[in-house]
């Protein structure tokens, strides 16, 4: 499979799903007719039915919401929706991007009256596959959930990783977002442009350290894909692994001259004048981020991380569908839209069977991509 095809699949999903950055959502939404309804949209008259407009072809009904930020308002809703009591998360990494996502999901659900509490169990190691293997030993816990993303599917694809866990042996619930990465440097760095950094790696190879997250994870994938796009052999890349916020601290301390991390993570340090962004992997400029995309700087590369939620293999069908409906309802709440905007995340929801179909395509593609860029 060609690099171009894989990158298109990873980045251009935005186009096929009519991806919209949350910050552009109008402050006041109009009443939505049944033929166009999504869960959480405003509706005009109680009792109306939007046939097949819910996840997996289920129906939505125009109901007065009794909880959360839309309490008292008429919204397209699932008539049989049951709030969750708790979510017991398995996080296949240390504290960082995954746990930031689980916390954002849980806090949103709690504020919207769709969840009572959460617990978090960190299981780092082996590109996320240690956590996956642990999660797949969990039996009889209908409230268990695993947070996943491209770091995990990339970790599974590494030749050096002998873990044989099958992600699709667990139950796909929802893909909830996509975020893009920033390549960043100290504010006083000699690199003024992305091209200067790339050319330095081309000329001096492993003398230029680049700090990012786990081996084979999205940070590694992004900088590896950039090198591949620029015609720089992956063997010249000196990738220094850090967990959580370590890529930031390594660059701030001078331990590494260049770092790669999620866009939102670097912005506070840019605002403080400590760091500067050389380029972002997004398809277009992001509101509030003073940085050009890779494409704008001559590198035909769009690449982003996604995150999603899995349930145990033995979850009942009723509980599976309810969990999917809860996540679909969360997606259109005011609280979640604020979370997306604050984190510079993109709304890229896929629920239940749609998420499963995505994974069936994505897993072999990412395996081929990891092999092609030499990770």
pLDDT in tens, 58-86: 999 999 999 999 999 999 999 999 999 99
pLDDT for the residue 7: 44
What would the pLDDT profile of 246-291 be if each residue is shown by its tens digit?
A: 999 999 999 999 999 999 999 999 999 999 999 999 999 999 999 9
Range list of β-strands (E), 138-234: 144-149, 171-186, 209-212
Q: Read off the tokens for 103.
A: 């916390």
pLDDT for the residue 224: 94
Domains and CATH numbers, the chain: 3-22+82-178+305-372 (3.40.190.150), 31-77 (no CATH), 180-297 (3.40.190.10)
**Is pLDDT above 60 for 20?**
no
Per the listing, tokens 């999917």 go with 324
Cα 54 to Cα 59, 81, 190, 343, distances in angstroms: 5, 12, 52, 27
In angstroms, the CA 301 to CA 327 distance is 30
**What is the pLDDT of the chain when averaged over all its residues?**
91
pLDDT for the residue 23: 36
pLDDT for the residue 163: 64
Nearest to 92 by CA among 179, 174, 171, 152: 152
Residue 4 pLDDT level (bands cut at 50, 70, 90): very low
Confirm if 221 and 150 have CB atoms less than 8 A apart.
Answer: yes
Per the listing, tokens 């896929």 go with 350
What would the pLDDT profile of 203-222 be if each residue is shown by its tens digit?
A: 999 999 999 988 888 999 99
Q: How far apart are the first and last CA of the chain?
A: 15
Per the listing, tokens 């996502």 go with 101
Contacts for 232 with CB less than 8 Å, ≥ 6 apart? 198, 201, 202
Contacts for 97 with CB less than 8 Å, ≥ 6 apart? 149, 151, 213, 262, 265, 305, 307
Residue 160 pLDDT level (bands cut at 50, 70, 90): low
pLDDT for the residue 72: 98
Provide the phi-psi class of 205: left if phi over 0, else alpha when psi is between -120 and 50, else beta.
Answer: left
Angle, in degrees to the nearest 10, between helices 353-372 and 150-157: 50
Question: What is the percentage of the chain residues whose pLDDT exceeds 90?
Answer: 81
**Is pLDDT above 50 for 138?**
yes
**Is pLDDT above 50 for 146?**
yes
Residue 137 pLDDT level (bands cut at 50, 70, 90): very high
Residue 14 pLDDT level (bands cut at 50, 70, 90): very low
> 334 by DSSP, 3-state: which?
helix
In angstroms, the CA 327 to CA 176 distance is 8
Confirm if 165 and 248 have CB atoms less than 8 A apart.
Answer: no
Q: Read off the tokens for 359.
A: 């994974």
What would the pLDDT profile of 164-202 be if each residue is shown by its tens digit?
A: 679 999 999 999 999 999 999 999 999 999 999 999 999
**Residue 71 gets which letter from DSSP?**
T
Residue 28 pLDDT level (bands cut at 50, 70, 90): very low
Q: What is the pTM of this model?
A: 0.87
């Amino acid at each position: 499979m060609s690099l171009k095809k894989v990158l298109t699949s990873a980045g251009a999903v935005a186009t096929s799903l009519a991806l919209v950055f949350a910050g552009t959502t109008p402050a006041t939404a109009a009443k939505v007719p049944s033929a166009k309804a999504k869960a959480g949209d405003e509706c005009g008259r109680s009792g109306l039915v939007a046939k097949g407009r819910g996840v997996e072809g289920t129906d939505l009904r125009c109901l007065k919401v009794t909880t959360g930020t839309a309490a008292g308002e008429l919204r397209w809703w699932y008539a049989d929706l049951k709030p969750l009591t708790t979510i017991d998360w398995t996080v296949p990494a240390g504290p960082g991007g995954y746990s930031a996502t689980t916390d954002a999901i849980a806090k949103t659900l709690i504020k919207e009256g769709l969840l009572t509490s959460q617990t978090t169990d960190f299981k780092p190691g082996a590109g996320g596959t240690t956590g996956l293997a642990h999660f797949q030993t969990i039996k009889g816990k209908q409230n268990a959930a695993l947070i996943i993303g491209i770091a995990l599917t990339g970790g599974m694809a590494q030749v050096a990783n002998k873990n044989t866990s099958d992600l699709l042996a667990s139950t796909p619930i929802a893909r909830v977002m996509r975020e893009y990465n920033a390549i960043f440097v100290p504010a006083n760095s000699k690199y003024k442009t992305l091209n200067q950094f790339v050319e330095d790696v081309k000329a001096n190879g492993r003398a230029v350290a680049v700090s990012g997250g786990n081996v084979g994870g999205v940070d590694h994938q992004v900088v590896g894909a950039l090198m591949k796009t620029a015609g720089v052999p992956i063997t010249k890349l000196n990738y220094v692994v850090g967990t959580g916020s370590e890529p930031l601290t390594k660059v701030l301390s001078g331990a590494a001259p260049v770092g790669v991390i999620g866009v939102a993570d670097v912005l506070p340090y840019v605002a403080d004048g400590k760091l500067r962004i050389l380029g972002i992997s997004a398809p277009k400029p992001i509101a509030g981020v003073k940085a050009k995309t890779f494409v704008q700087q001559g590198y035909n590369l769009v690449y982003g991380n996604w995150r999603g939620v899995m349930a145990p293999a033995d979850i009942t069908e009723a509980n599976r569908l309810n969990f999917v409906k809860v996540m679909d309802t969360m997606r259109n709440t005011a609280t979640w839209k604020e979370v997306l905007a604050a984190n510079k995340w993109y709304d890229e929801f896929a629920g239940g069977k749609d998420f499963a179909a995505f994974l069936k395509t994505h897993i072999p593609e990412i395996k081929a991509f990891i092999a092609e860029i030499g990770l």
